[in-house]
Structure 1
Amino acid sequence: MTPLMHAAYKGKLDMCKLLLRHGADVNCHQHEHGYTALMFAALSGNKDITWVMLEAGADTDVVNSVGRTAAQMAAFVGQHDCVTIINNFFPRERLDYYTKPQGLDKEPKLPPKLAGPLHKIITTTNLHPVKIVMLINENPLLTEAAALNKCYRVMDLICEKCMKQRDMNEVLAMKMHYISCIFQKCINFLKDGENKLDTLIKSLLKGRASDGFPVYQEKTIRESIRKFPYCEATLLQQLVRSIAPVEIGSDPTAFSVLTQAITGQVGFVDVEFCTTCGEKGASKRCSVCKMVIYCDQTCQKIHWFTHKKICKNLKDIYEKQQFEAAKEKRREENHHKLDVNSNCVNEEQPEDEVGISQKDSNPKDSREEEKESLESEAGLEGLQDAPAGPQVSEE
């Protein structure tokens, strides 16, 4: 193992950066089992080190002695966050290609100042439409319709390249197309005036009156999938088969199906997601209903305009669930007490039987046995003259 492999496996981020700055080979696989530094980073479960290795140029397609890539090794040991990072990584060099004039072009298709913000959105593992719009809204360079127009055209070019290259990458093509559709939706709202991205966020979050389900968000995601230009793609057909039979408002949602297809996130992982932006690891709940989860106070404020309409109903549901849970807990405790008491009775039962047998063996019984033995010695005549049935002693 090289020092970089050791540092990656032990989770030493600063040491990894130091070794990489001094020329450590990130793709060295002179390990006895063909492991690379990226594989050790993925096995350790350290997301930051995994990202550093990818930025340093780590090859994600290298396999070890058992024919497994870094992403497959991480998935095998349950490091799903690292799997998501590896599957969603997009080299900055591939985006910088469009920041330079190519062929007869006099201007680049993407201004260099937009490459950084766009790369951040491309490599995000959270594909929630509200999160993407929030990332756009955070950067002043992207809040102009002209800038987003150039960005979405570049995304379409990357999508086309992924589908027409020798090693077709349907997953990356679908992701580029999906982000492009979100950009186009932002452009339509920006044309109407200033601060219209906030209006788009509210439109995506607005829930229906019955249960608060965001219908517009669901329709937006379904529409983006339906607009995918390559109908023969296997991934598109799988998505359509999974989403088409499902009614709007039922599970699985279009967002959950699309996320699992693109990022590889598993649905059975016991984690909470922000109701507003879909960020993983949300821990703050609404103080009233305790049913809705947010990642911070900002998301809570953004979502309050629609959540306040159903907060009271959710509170009643939560209290009912708590009552049923407490009732079930008491029932289990009572069953447990009954089981304990029955076990105690079963443990005491042999001692009682022994006591009874000892009480039965009294002197009176011994005298009866002696009398029976004497009668047996007297001969058969005495036995024949005796009445039928059990003999009772005169005493």
Structure 2
Amino acid sequence: MEEPVAIQQNEEAKLIEDLKLDEKKKIMDPLHAGLFKAIENGDFGSVQRLVTEENVSTAISDENDMSPLLQAAYRGHTDIVRFLLSNGADVNITCHTNFYTPLMMAAISGKMDTCRTLLDAGAKVSTTNSIGKTASDLASFVGQHDVSALIRNFLTFERLEPYFTPQGSNPARISESTAKCLQQMVMLANFHPVKVVILVMDQLCDVSVLKNCRNVLDDLGRKCVRNEKDFDEILALKCHEVSTILSLCCERLSKDKPDLTALVKMLLKENDAGIQLGCEKVIRDSLMKFLFTKLPAFLQLVQTLSNTKVGEEPTALSCMQSLFSGMQSMRDSDKWCATCWEGSAPLQCSACRKVRYCSQRCQKLNWFIHKKKCSK
């Protein structure tokens, strides 16, 4: 039983904290109050002026112990969230009364774009609040299932940390820079095998490194499926697909004349309808080797493709893209790069003006296909 003196000390400490909170309520600076009011109204201009010109700190709290970033995240003001982060706001700051993070606030209010922004900025998905719930748990509890799936299947850098950190006497499996590249591959907004190969060409063109990367992805994929009721299925599938493409890169680089350009051309090979048969074959073959065949998303994908012949719509690539990023990700596909599916490709074929490219390299890689139908 707690001693009477200890009880009295606890009560006194609580009283002091309450008095401090009351005092803070009374003396809140007008500029501080103005910042929270601007965030409440979504007034980006006023927020920008108060922080940059009036030097209002991004680390202040209101009477409810909410920081500016927590407030902006809850209201889904993504532009304000980005601005606060760029001006020193801590992406993992907590509300001290219940340990809510900005990601949790955005999750329970169903703000998908804000969640993506916070995740990209390094928000930790494993942090729990005062009752032991993560941001994903909270999103599911309030019915924001799309947000919950986004968070659960986002590959944060913290999940890769054990692989680039030495474990006891064992050396790290990969370097930190390689881990960043793997994260970039798995989190591609528009998933296309050629995009992964291009990243390998630029950053990971070494057989031994690629083999280690495959081992990391395979291990990570297995850890995504904890049991039949607890799994991160989208992330497990993406890890598997990227691992498959890295395996193809290893095979090409292990030949007497290593050349990943030949692999790109194999993936881009089209039929008369413009469907990339190389990508279709690679994706369908990889699905046959996926270990967790009872996952709902996998079953849905296989069921859709089982009713479609190779070379017909919907393609395996488009179905996988919709699964990974949602149906909205397939909009404005006529503005994508014809080679790697990068969105809003700025370059056009100067002759026919019918296809777009994100770079001159992609234009050159695709020329052996496009030259057959380019109307000069």
Superposition TM-score tier, normalisation by shorter sequence? 0.5 to 0.7
How many residue pairs get aligned? The number is 297
Letter in structure 1 aligned against 2:365? I
* Whole-angstrom CA distance in 2 between matches of 1:28 and 1:269: 42
Identity %: 30
- Aligned equivalent of 1:51, options 102, 120, 125: 120
Letter in structure 2 aligned against 1:11? D
Any idea what the Cα deviations from partners look like across 1:338-369, whole Å, max 9, x if unmatched? xxxxxxxxxxxxxxxxxxxxxxxxxxxxxxxx
Letter in structure 1 aligned against 2:79? G
Is contact 1:285–1:292 with CA below 8 Å preserved after alignment? yes
- Change in Cα spacing, 1:161 to 1:268, as seen in structure 2 (3 Å) is closer
* Whole-angstrom CA distance in 2 between matches of 1:158 and 1:204: 26
Match of residue 193 from structure 2: 129
- Change in Cα spacing, 1:269 to 1:27, as seen in structure 2 (3 Å) is farther
- Aligned equivalent of 1:291, options 339, 354, 361: 354
* Whole-angstrom CA distance in 2 between matches of 1:6 and 1:192: 56
TM-score by length of 1: 0.64
- Change in Cα spacing, 1:308 to 1:29, as seen in structure 2 (3 Å) is farther
Is contact 1:39–1:69 with CA below 8 Å preserved after alignment? yes
- Change in Cα spacing, 1:198 to 1:88, as seen in structure 2 (3 Å) is farther
Deviates more, 1:63-72 or 1:129-138: 63-72
Unaligned runs of 5+ in 2: 1-65, 128-133
Deviates more, 1:280-289 or 1:235-244: 280-289
- Change in Cα spacing, 1:39 to 1:202, as seen in structure 2 (3 Å) is farther
* Whole-angstrom CA distance in 2 between matches of 1:196 and 1:99: 28
Pairwise CA RMSD of aligned residues?
A: 3.5
Match of residue 63 from structure 2: none
- Change in Cα spacing, 1:137 to 1:152, as seen in structure 2 (3 Å) is same
Secondary structure of the residue that 1:281 maps to in structure 2?
coil
Any idea what the Cα deviations from partners look like across 1:196-233, whole Å, max 9, x if unmatched? 1122112211324x344321221011111111022333
Deviation, structure 1 residue 53: 5.7
Match of residue 310 from structure 1: 373
Is contact 1:5–1:40 with CA below 8 Å preserved after alignment? no
* Whole-angstrom CA distance in 2 between matches of 1:72 and 1:226: 29
Deviation, structure 1 residue 88: 4.9
- Aligned equivalent of 2:138, options 57, 60, 63: 63
Deviates more, 1:1-10 or 1:244-253: 1-10
Match of residue 266 from structure 1: 328
Match of residue 2 from structure 1: 67
Match of residue 345 from structure 2: 282
Letter in structure 1 aligned against 2:172? P
Deviates more, 1:214-223 or 1:63-72: 63-72
Is contact 1:26–1:36 with CA below 8 Å preserved after alignment? no
Letter in structure 1 aligned against 2:136? D
* Whole-angstrom CA distance in 2 between matches of 1:148 and 1:236: 26
Letter in structure 2 aligned against 1:89? F
- Aligned equivalent of 1:25, options 79, 94, 116: 94
Is contact 2:78–2:117 with CA below 8 Å preserved after alignment? no
- Aligned equivalent of 1:149, options 188, 211, 219: 211
- Change in Cα spacing, 1:184 to 1:234, as seen in structure 2 (3 Å) is same
* Whole-angstrom CA distance in 2 between matches of 1:174 and 1:65: 21
Is contact 1:38–1:54 with CA below 8 Å preserved after alignment? no
Is contact 2:112–2:147 with CA below 8 Å preserved after alignment? no
TM-score by length of 2: 0.67
Is contact 1:294–1:300 with CA below 8 Å preserved after alignment? yes
Letter in structure 2 aligned against 1:200? L
Unaligned runs of 5+ in 1: 74-82, 316-395
Match of residue 291 from structure 2: 229
Deviation, structure 1 residue 23: 7.5
Q: Is 2:247 the partner of 1:184?
A: yes
- Change in Cα spacing, 1:91 to 1:242, as seen in structure 2 (3 Å) is same
Is contact 1:42–1:50 with CA below 8 Å preserved after alignment? no
Is contact 1:99–1:109 with CA below 8 Å preserved after alignment? yes
Match of residue 319 from structure 1: none
- Change in Cα spacing, 1:219 to 1:28, as seen in structure 2 (3 Å) is farther
Larger radius of gyration: 1
- Change in Cα spacing, 1:223 to 1:300, as seen in structure 2 (3 Å) is same
Q: Is 2:266 the partner of 1:219?
A: no
- Aligned equivalent of 1:109, options 148, 173, 196: 173
- Change in Cα spacing, 1:89 to 1:275, as seen in structure 2 (3 Å) is same
Deviates more, 1:187-196 or 1:174-183: 187-196
Secondary structure of the residue that 2:340 maps to in structure 1?
coil
Deviation, structure 1 residue 27: 9.7
* Whole-angstrom CA distance in 1 between matches of 2:373 and 2:95: 52
Match of residue 387 from structure 1: none
- Aligned equivalent of 1:119, options 162, 178, 183: 183
- Change in Cα spacing, 1:10 to 1:41, as seen in structure 2 (3 Å) is farther
Deviation, structure 1 residue 184: 0.3
Deviation, structure 1 residue 281: 2.3
Any idea what the Cα deviations from partners look like across 1:156-208, whole Å, max 9, x if unmatched? 11111112357222221111111110110100000114551122112211324
* Whole-angstrom CA distance in 2 between matches of 1:113 and 1:90: 15
Deviation, structure 1 residue 114: 2.3
Deviation, structure 1 residue 17: 3.8
- Change in Cα spacing, 1:225 to 1:138, as seen in structure 2 (3 Å) is same
- Change in Cα spacing, 1:60 to 1:280, as seen in structure 2 (3 Å) is farther
Deviation, structure 1 residue 69: 3.9
Secondary structure of the residue that 1:164 maps to in structure 2?
strand
* Whole-angstrom CA distance in 1 between matches of 2:109 and 2:367: 43
Is contact 2:125–2:136 with CA below 8 Å preserved after alignment? no
Secondary structure of the residue that 1:61 maps to in structure 2?
helix
